[in-house]
Amino acid sequence: MMGEREEDDDNEEAWLQLRPKEPLPSQCCGSGCSPCVFDLYHQDLARWEAARASKDRSLLHGPESQSCPSKLNPKTFVAFCISAMDRLTKDTYRVRFALPGNSQLGLQPGQHLILRGIVDDLEIQRAYTPISPANAEGYFEVLIKCYQMGLMSRYVESWRAGAIAFWRGPFGDFFYKPNQYGELLMLAAGTGLAPMVPILQSITDNENDETFVTLVGCFKTFESIYLKTFLQDQARFWNVRTFFVLSQESSPERLPWSYQEKTRFGRLGQDLIKELVSCCRRKPFALVCGSAEFTKDIARCLLCAGLTEDSYFLF
């Protein structure tokens, strides 16, 4: 009897060691992804409880993983190799990741991925939107801003070409269709520009897409504007206009002449939003991306400008 009890205790301890560990708050990126890291935990926990009840460890294993080592998966982190890393500003990088052969990442324009990092034995996860074209072959690129006290920033700044990073996805509920809207009013602050880039490029790459685009980028200074060459090239298309709002500049004479007429100073507020909406060439659908505070303020301004809640999307 004693031997049987000890064996049961050993089995119980073994099962407890196999119990999934609940994620830390830092492991959730906070972007509302589905499945979230906590969703995956509860799925694993239910699988563990079923396996423990039936005393069948084979039930602990989920579906077989994809055979392709670089095939995106929303539930499982997949390894991608860094092929290039360019510093765009003092705190922002454009990072290119290699894909096998001429394969494509498989995202819709504007969808995002979750990056996993480990710093001081703490796992962290953050959401980033690729800025490369949705049909890019053999690579994808992301725009990442680093913060002085950010844990993920420490991880990113340790990257070098040839390093490996782990991503899962895709996520995101906005799916652009050509000619779906008369005009897109894109309102972006800082790296909130990221989801706008592939959507804009998908429009200008498609000669049959006649959607008008008004893109407004909000930055602190002229030097901090990302992807200037890309935005200048896009503004040459007949259906694209770009504007900038600089919060820490005040003199148009200090800007290149090509930026002077399309730059405002201060912050993007209600009066400017009303002006932008009224000068749209067709009925606009607004896309908004930036900090939580920026997104909340712009949504309020859009409503005041006469747009309804089904006339904008908040990334």
Strand 212-219 versus strand 78-89 pairing type: unpaired
Distance CA 120, CA 116 (A): 13
Residue whose structure tokens are 């820490």:
248
Residue 152 annotated as part of some ligand binding site: yes
Torsion sign, CA atoms 289, 293, 294, 299: positive
75 annotated as ligand-binding? no
153 is in an annotated binding site: yes
Placement of tokens 């705190």 in the chain: 91
SS3 164: strand
What is the rounded CA–CA span in Å between residue 141 and residue 146?
A: 16
Q: E strand or H helix at 42, and its extent?
A: helix 37-54
Q: 158 labelled as ligand-binding?
A: no
The amino acid occupying position 26 is: S
For strands 240-246 and 212-219, give the pairing: parallel
Was 186 annotated as part of a binding site? no
115 annotated as ligand-binding? no
Alpha carbons 202 and 205: distance in angstroms, whole number: 5
Q: How far is it, in rounded angstroms, from Cα 143 to Cα 194?
A: 7
Q: Are strands 112-119 and 212-219 parallel, antiparallel or unpaired?
A: unpaired
Could you tell me which residues are annotated as the binding site? 126, 128, 143, 145, 152-153
Binding-site entries for FAD = 126, 128, 143, 145, 152-153
